Structure 1
Amino acid sequence: MIFCKTGELTIRSLELSDKQFLVKWLSDIHVLEYYGGRDNPYDENMVEKKFYTSSNKTRCIIEYSNDPIGYIQFYHISKEEYEEYGYTGIHKIIYGTDQFIGETKYWGQGIGTMVMKEMVNFLITEMDTQKIVLDPQDRNKRAISCYEKSGFKKVKILPKHELHEGNLQDCWLMEYNVL
């Protein structure tokens, strides 16, 4: 299924044949510096377990000029995330998203911003979401800049939120508010 297509950019459903790309990207130390950890390179079994088991997440491949270059997923945030992020008592449809550009030669070209703008548009128009959240590590300046260019705002620091390379990392809770 194609979720978004505009110009050279396509966001489509993850397929079994995409496993090779995920293994490649998630064993690249440059990608792992911010996603997963350089101490945790993925092999085929790890990719299969994390990305091909049933889940409440919609998993997608990002293509640019018909070449797979990255991964994105979106999902309703969990009850625990509602509480952790301070959304208890808020009755809005809230989606979370996680993503990375796995082909590092595409970094710094504005493609991540295009991806985020298209995903925001899709989640608003097709999924009727009222808020979109993500939680990049506070040291991931490139990702934070991309999200800000896409309309996300920093809300609060989530202290010691993500285990990465043996250390708990602080992350930013970032929001895109529709209303």
Structure 2
Amino acid sequence: MLKGQKTRIRPIEEDDIDTLYLWYNDQEVNLWSSGAWPLNTLQSKDQLAVKFLDGSPDTYRYAILDENDLLIGTLGFKEVNIPGRSATLYIVIGNKEYWGKGYGTDALITLIRFLFTQWNFHRISLDTWDENIRATKAYEKVGFKIEGRQREARFVLGNYHDAILMGLLRDEFLSLHGK
């Protein structure tokens, strides 16, 4: 288990699936996590169990816990590029009571420190959509920089939005947050 200042990160367990199912069926959670409402909600508990517990071999998914070991979100990484020592990161704080309180930022710092120091990654990428200002600010607080924009790459609630592409290099992160 990885421990941050406010969060703990552990593998997702079978007992987590009921909570994840509720989050996947919450319009507001899905809107801010991916802009994909209602597409993400068309999965059964069994499909979510396969996705989160079995998953693909190149996708790593973890649970985010608060100080009292309450499940509050998920995060992970995918698209691992061994020669480039890079990956793409994702995070969802599903428990809305924890939004805007620094839990997501703490979980990101904790996982990213692990990826840079233990996995020896050089670069981490992520993306969001242009109206997800809260996420963009949290990513910038961690050290991510906006590297680009894909015009009208997301379709959210009947409108096209730009995807915001962000990246973080190992040296930048370690200079901000130490080892």
Where on the TM-score scale, by shorter chain, does this alignment land: which range? 0.7 to 0.9
Distance 1:151 1:60 in 2: 21
Query: Secondary structure of the equivalent of 2:20?
Result: helix
In the alignment, structure 1 residue 21 sits paired with structure 2 residue 19 = yes
CA offset at residue 78 of structure 1? 6.2
Query: What is the one-letter code of the residue matched to 2:37?
Result: R
Q: TM-score, normalised by structure 1?
A: 0.83
Query: What is the one-letter code of the residue matched to 1:47?
Result: L
Alpha carbons 2:89, 2:125 under 8 Å: kept: yes
In the alignment, structure 1 residue 178 sits paired with structure 2 residue 177 = no
Tell me which moved more, 29-38 or 41-50. Answer: 41-50
Alpha carbons 2:81, 2:87 under 8 Å: kept: no
Query: Secondary structure of the equivalent of 1:136?
Result: strand
Structure 2 equivalent of residue 38 of structure 1: 37
Aligned pair in 2 of structure 1 residues 127, 76: CA closer, same or farther (>3 Å)?
farther
Structure 1 gap ranges (5+): 80-90
Distance 1:157 1:75 in 2: 20
Alpha carbons 1:39, 1:165 under 8 Å: kept: no
Alpha carbons 1:58, 1:74 under 8 Å: kept: yes
The percent of aligned pairs where both chains have the same amino acid is 28
Aligned pair in 2 of structure 1 residues 53, 169: CA closer, same or farther (>3 Å)?
farther
Aligned pair in 2 of structure 1 residues 95, 169: CA closer, same or farther (>3 Å)?
same
Once the two structures are superposed, the pairs formed by residues 98-117 of structure 1 within 5 Å of their partners are: 98-117=90-109
Structure 2 equivalent of residue 132 of structure 1: 124
Q: Out of 142, 145, 148, which is 2:134 matched to?
A: 142
Q: Out of 73, 93, 110, which is 1:118 matched to?
A: 110
Tell me which moved more, 35-44 or 116-125. Answer: 35-44
Question: How large is the Cα RMSD of the aligned pairs?
Answer: 2.1
Q: Out of 88, 91, 96, which is 1:96 matched to?
A: 88
Query: Secondary structure of the equivalent of 1:17?
Result: helix
Distance 1:46 1:166 in 2: 26
Distance 1:131 1:122 in 2: 13
Structure richer in helix, relative to its length: 2
* Structure 1 outlier segments of 4+, above 6 Å: none
Aligned residue pairs, count: 166
Query: Secondary structure of the equivalent of 2:33?
Result: coil
